[in-house]
Structure 1
Amino acid sequence: MKPETIAIHGGYEYDPTTKAVAVPIYQTVSYAFDSADHAAALFNLEVEGFRYTRISNPTTAVLERRVAALEGGLEALCVASGQTAVYYALLNVAELGSNIISVPQLYGTTHTMFAHLLPSQGVHVRFAESDHPDALEKLIDDKTRAIYCESVGNPAGNICDIEKLAQLAHRHGLPLIVDNTVASPILLRPIEYGADIVVHSLTKFLGGHGTTLGGAIVDSGNFPWKEHAARFPMFSQPDASYHDLVYTEHYGRAAFMGRCRSVYQRTIGAALSPMSAFLLLQGIETVALRLDRHVENGRKVAEFLRDDPRIEWVNYAGFPSSPYYNLAQKYLGGRACSLMTVGLKGGFEAAVKFHDALNLVTRLVNLGDAKSLACHPASTTHRQMSPEEQLIAGVRPEMIRLSIGIEHSDDIIADLDQALNAAI
């Protein structure tokens, strides 16, 4: 099925008991066992079924199947937030003393995780000088366990050459992990270009309404964990914490996801609530329609800002002058994302005045909402970074990040115009 159809029907036919067409909300913590033997079989992973909602839930399972299908993956795990998804995905391949190689253009909280939290737990993250594959390759050594990037950087707006990064990773026996939040599977499916693991903040474009936190990890099922057992012994050696289960033997191609759910979701427990899963499913049903309008409005706003003398620069991959224009043609089908950054003449002070003068466009730090949104990254999402780190990540003092929504484009532009008048 095409993505537009998967978004509505993927992972669900109807409830077998009630024949409900809408996905039911299974607002329950636990599930009854037929007998002690049945319970043992469930905990031994010998039979399919549900044990405890921290591990899996029927409503969440539909969301997982739908997201996996949208991304063209084998399986998915949905968790409490996008940050949880990133954290679990990396913990699942790393161990004490290992390292991850990352592009420098990252969401601010991801950068904090990489620069401070993971190193405190014995996993070092090495930031490349740029998103070019050569810059990442020179950092790889025998302790490296993954290469990480955002398909479209937030807020930098850079587009990573996923195919080349995948080739680089696989040449060194490593998985490529891609955060596809900004592009969404409607514009880009990284697995089709060789990515092994895809992570999402479902809170953003897939949920689409700014109401519900959620994250997802999608396993392509393509990385040969058993073939690289020396680098990833956790998949091919008995797991003492789970009655000596060997994940590659038990789960086959789904070894990554089986271990992620059995080890991290089961023991850390950042579970997505069934109600949140239901709300995210409602958002996903209209994601293709919304993305059409997001993209159209984003182009109109970018063109208005590019031609305005009060604007110093516009970072928008849909312009032929953008260094990422060719990659936008290849990976996004020429449909540049509605996330963009602009620099105002007048620097930091003008950017703050513009930000504060917005009326229709909402000031906050989310993106991918049906509503148009704005933030000043240097003051908010990337405030914890040094000025040098901000510049490497693509954050400048005069920069405003805009997430263009699905209102009428004339109204969005009118609000931007009056805010520019107030600022300059």
Structure 2
Amino acid sequence: MSTDRPMSFDTAQIHAGANPDSATGARQTPIYQTTAYVFRDHDHAAALFNLQEVGYIYSRLTNPTVSALADRINALEGGAGTVCCSSGHAAQIMALFPLMGPGRNIVASTRLYGGTVTQFSQTIKRFGWSCTFVDFDDLDAVKAAIDENTRAIFCESIANPGGYITDLPAVAKVADEAGLPLIVDNTSATAYLCRPIEHGATLVVNSLTKYMTGNGTVTGGSITDSGKFDWMASDKFPSLSQPEPAYHGLTFGAALGPMAFTFHSIAIGLRDLGMTLNPQAAHYTLMGLETLSLRMRKHVENAEIVANWLEKHDAVARVTYAGLDSSPYKARVATVCPKGAGGLFTFALKGGYDACVKFVNALKLFSHVANLGDARSLVIHSASTTHRQLTEAQQVAAGAAPDVVRLSIGIEDPEDIIADLEQALAQIG
């Protein structure tokens, strides 16, 4: 769809990246369930493989349904280019892939999803990479953690599980001064609540599994490049600033400019890592995105009501929701997440670990699952599940202490949500 004026978010989430199918007139984006694509002739095939022409070759690389999703996410995030892949975890590895090499490291926030902490503290060691975890509220500590081998800074806009809001403009300034890309996981906020690129982020990663799809049906991930980082400014990123042998010496940064990272992620990242998003999953996410703003407004509205109610309950020790007046992160909401603090937060029970276990088991409306961002209200005790592999000190640093329960507030009637919480809290004594 093309208009004479930029589309608003509510319009772009429905129309960006999609037009009626040229062959059939189908209004919804078709699921192109195909492995490969017929070339017009020999020259067409050669041009595609030599990156001289944009088109479809093989669905491990690109697919029309997936491309429509990438274009839509790109419009919502305000990027230069977006690549979709098989999961949020895949998106993180793909974001790092062109930047890293043996002996290189990243500096990451301590407030991250438990699986990300494990991926960065354990799994990436197998590539010869490493990670230094720092409290991103301490900017001096972030600066001190950066060394000559650092290649990226990583954080979450709204941190999972606690719902903490990162001071993105301040962190972006640190990254800029160091000549490093800032990678922001925007999963918990989505582009509706936060646009990290506008706050200085270089790359934005999302788990499409969560709010972006919003119905708990598929897994998926995305990486959006701002197109603003100069990969040629130093020799830190040879994958982008030096000739690529697999493409006859093409230098991605010099030849492709703002689209260098995106094309590298497709032509080399997806080609060699194979973290492909299937077209049916892309279709589900396209449909989910059509109602993203409507759902996020309801998530925020409900979360504010529930968090305020919990904060007053006798069994509750503390609530981490950034939208509360008592939160030390409340001041960042207006700057980083002006449309609200999201639908994710934690609360601590005075009864500790055992009370958390009893509480989770007593809930009826809430679904006890290892997911967030569903239309349904979800609950999990992070210390015994998603963050179980961490030490207690790491759990506390991540906001997933043993006495803490994580809530992902859905879009049900808030009175029903509170009624379920109330009956469960009554059962723990």
Using structure 1 for the length normalisation, give the TM-score. Answer: 0.98
Give the letter for the 2:366 counterpart.
V
1:258 lines up with 2:263 in the alignment: yes
Secondary structure at 2:265 match in 1: helix
Instruction: Select which of 345, 349, 353 maps to 1:344.
Output: 349
Task: Show structure 2 runs of 5+ residues with no match.
Answer: 1-6
Partner in structure 1 of residue 391 of structure 2: 386
* Partner in structure 1 of residue 18 of structure 2: 12
1:213 correspondence with 2:219? yes
2:146 equivalent to 1:140? yes
Given the alignment of the two structures, is residue 52 of structure 1 paired with residue 58 of structure 2, yes or no?
yes
The one-letter amino acid of 1:401's match is: R
Q: What amino acid is the match of 1:370?
A: A
Q: Counterpart of 1:198 in 2: which secondary structure?
A: strand
SS of residue in 1 equivalent to 2:395: helix
* TM-fit CA distance, 1:127: 0.8
> Which of structure 1's runs of 4+ aligned residues deviate more than 4 A?
none
* Correspondence for 1:61: 67
Cα distance in 2, alignment partners of residues 289 and 105 from structure 1: 28
Aligned residue for 1:31, secondary structure, equals: coil
Would you say 1:404 and 2:385 are equivalent positions?
no
- Is 1:107 the equivalent of 2:113? yes
SS in 2 for 1:223: coil
Counterpart residue number, 1:328:
333
Listed as ranges, the matches of 1:207-246 within 5 Å are 207-228=213-234, 230-246=235-251
* Alpha-carbon separation, structure 2, partners of 1:195 and 1:316: 24
Contact 1:159 1:327 in 2 (8 A): yes
Aligned length: 423
What's the Cα RMSD here?
Answer: 1.0
Q: Secondary structure at the match of 1:305?
A: helix
Distance in 2 between residues matched to 1:56 and 1:30, nearest whole Å: 10
Residue aligning to 2:27: 21
Mapped to 1, the partners of 2:91 and 2:389 lie a distance apart of 22
The one-letter amino acid of 2:345's match is M
SS in 2 for 1:101: strand
Equivalences for residues 115-134 of structure 1 within 5 A: 115-134=121-140
For 2:375 and 2:98, locate their aligned partners in 1 and report how far apart those are by CA, in whole Å: 33
Q: Does residue 199 of structure 1 match 2:244?
A: no
Residue 337 (structure 1) shift: 1.2
The range that moved more, 301-310 or 76-85, is 301-310
**1:262-281 alignment runs, 5 A limit:** 262-281=267-286
AA partner of residue 116 (structure 2): T
Instruction: Report the alpha carbon displacement of residue 260 of structure 1 after superposing the two structures with TM.
Output: 1.4
How far does residue 334 in structure 1 lie from its aligned partner after superposition?
5.7
**Aligned equivalents of 2:176 and 2:103: distance in 1?**
21
In 1, Cα distance between equivalents of 2:312 and 2:242: 60
Distance 1:334 1:18, change over 3 A: closer
Structure 1 position 120, deviation (Å): 2.3
Give distance in 1, aligned partners of 2:357 and 2:318: 16
Match of 2:3 in 1: none
Alpha-carbon distance in structure 2 between the residues aligned to 1:132 and 1:207:
34
- AA at the equivalent of 2:329: Y
Q: Is the 8 A contact 2:30 2:65 kept in 1?
A: yes
Match of 1:317 in 2: 322
Aligned equivalents of 2:327, 2:140: Cα separation in 1 = 21
Residue in structure 2 matched with residue 306 of structure 1 by the alignment: 311
Match status 1:153 vs 2:144: no
Q: Which residue of structure 1 lines up, in the alignment, with residue 95 of structure 2?
A: 89
**Percentage of identical aligned residues:** 46
Distance 1:26 1:210, change over 3 A: same
Q: Render the CA deviation track for 1:68-127: whole Å, top value 9, x for unaligned.
A: 100000110000000000011012211111110111111011111100111221111111
Tell me by how many angstroms 1:130 deviates.
4.1
Give SS of 2:159's match: coil
In the aligned structure 2, how far is the partner of 1:74 from the partner of 1:138?
A: 31
Q: Secondary structure, in 3 states, of the residue corresponding to 1:138?
A: helix
In the alignment, the residues of structure 2 paired with residue 144 and residue 103 of structure 1 have an alpha-carbon distance, to the nearest angstrom, of: 14
